[in-house]
Structure 1
Amino acid sequence: MRKITIKVLTKLPTKNVTNGLILILILFLYGIIGSHIIMGYNLIDSIYYSIITLATVGYGDLAPTTGLQKIFAISLALGGVATVAYVFNIILANFQERMSEYSKGVRKLKTITNMDGYYVLCGYGRVGKVVFQELKQRNQNVIIIEKDKEKCEDVEENESVVVINEDATEGDLITKLAGDKCQSVIISTGSDVTNLFIVLTIRETNPDAWIVSRCSKSENMSRLKRAGANKVVSPEVIGGKDLYFQSAKPHTLRVTVRHNTDEIYDEFKIISKHGCTLETIDYHLPGIETPLSRRINTKDLEDGKRYTEHLNAHPEQKEALDNLYKSVNNVHSHVISGPDMRTLDELMKDLEKQGEVIGKNLSNKEISEITRKELEI
């Protein structure tokens, strides 16, 4: 406890305390000069009388006798009490504030320690907010580093969200957070210089960290890549959602399957069971490299249930979907994001048990070759 107290006291803001000490010094000089002129004491006695009066000790060996002397003594005593009380009140208030901040810091550190894995988001501006919403929607653990407290007022902290109001370019905070438990560092500040500095800082001590950086000017993209960023994106071009998808790249799976519309719900149950998100569905027309893509962006099993019920209630739409599946020979790909690769591996095993899996993370060109061969048969 003594070490904590010393640490807090050494970080107290000194401006108000200094002003209080200056007031005490001015009052002390007032007492010395007044004691010499009004009380008629020599220098030593003037210092002595000022100290015991300011401290309200009053031994009685030196006492005012005239009305003017009594008024002077009263002003000196009251001024001393008020000023000393003011200074100690400032020290106590600042001490309590620092202790409160220290306590919050300890709680945040404990929350981070208890996280199985997390994303670090540097910068909570216009783009950072979009990225955060994407992460939050997928129930990811997020640590936001933003020095401007006002920008983070709308963020509700809990066991999966921690806000740190510090500058990511100062100290070793970012290098510590970008360790083994960090799934990705997303740098979304509006300054390319700041982003570059953060990338360099992380890469010095974390060669395996997955870093995705925002870039405002196209000419700086190559610099950020050379500095060590795995992905450099321009939100002005592709938007905040794509910044998230790039950060989730290590934990995204594209699985190509073959099944009919009757198996849609069973497949979605597997995805939801593992807490993963179905991002998009690509329908591969035979022999054509570029697929038809639909953005789904859901992990809620109820969404799949409602969709299935809707198809059953509308036969004409079910028939249209059946025709789409027939046109692609039931071949399509799902882009699925998950909390980690272990989860995606388990999901893959369940999908293989459920139906025919053509391949994992195949390119459009590879899938096109497969469908082209089927046309030749």
Structure 2
Amino acid sequence: MAGAIALGGVFLIGTLWYHLVEGWSLEDAAYMTVITLATVGYGETHPLGNRGRLFTIALILLGVINLGYIVNRFTEAVIQGYFQQGIRLQQQRRLMESLLEHYIICGFSRTGRQIAKEFRAEGVSFVVIDSELESVQRAQIEGYTVYQGDATLDDTLLKVGIERAICIVAALPSDAENLYTVLSAKTLNPKIRAIARASTEEALQKLQRGGADAVISPYITGGRRMAAAALRPQVLDFVDGILTGADRQLYMEEFLLDPALCPFVGQTLQRAKLRSQTGALVLAIRRNDGTLIGGPTGETVLMPGDTLICMGTAEQLRDLNQLLGPIRSQKLRKPRNG
């Protein structure tokens, strides 16, 4: 910008000189200034005396200096932009390669933004995928790790480490896109947990058949929660406070029992004394075959592959995690602070 202004100033000075001092017409003065600054060597428009030739020499030097400055700045901008883009791509590639046991959010619409907010509050590692530049920029502004691409493509999922991820959330606006994403994710990583968003009951069933481990319909879930708020408001407030409350004191967590690491497999809850040792309450047990035992008694036996659903304070859950040993496929999430 500064170079262009300077060049314009030199052009104006040259034109006024030839017009006022040499007495040429404005057209001839402007023409002479242009061919002088461009150093094309067409020759003098009108004969010049010594004074005019000295001024022309100075004009040529000023023109060469300004043009050189402009070319240098332009070249520098192009080269820096090229290398900066390369550096950004390299940094992004290294970041994606470093992701391990992370979550993948596909789509950064209103649903995706809320999911990202909850994940950040829980302190888990995650990456956002979206094909829209505006959504990608918004995710970057909010400080999330983001990749611009089509989540339905295998290449995109591979670039965000789908084979090392533990969960993928398909929150794209289209049910068909969510279905393709789940199918691709399950093909590339059969062990990954896939959560999908569905707009209709038909889409919900198709996503379940497509391999989604859990399918959430905002409309169905919203209707149920509104009904629960009307019929059992205190229960809903309590559950919401445990799951998402910013100032909560109680938390819920799940623990997967690994028979090779957990010392309590094969024992009853009464013998394991988890409650007396940590203060955490075992609310339910999900057997390896999918059977759910709600409110297990002291005689309930802990089996290999069981998932304990527990409630307690952050300290109690950390103590329980230490007591059971490193039995989870991921680290115990850091509870959000109030």
TM-score by length of 2: 0.50
Higher helix share goes to which structure? Answer: 1
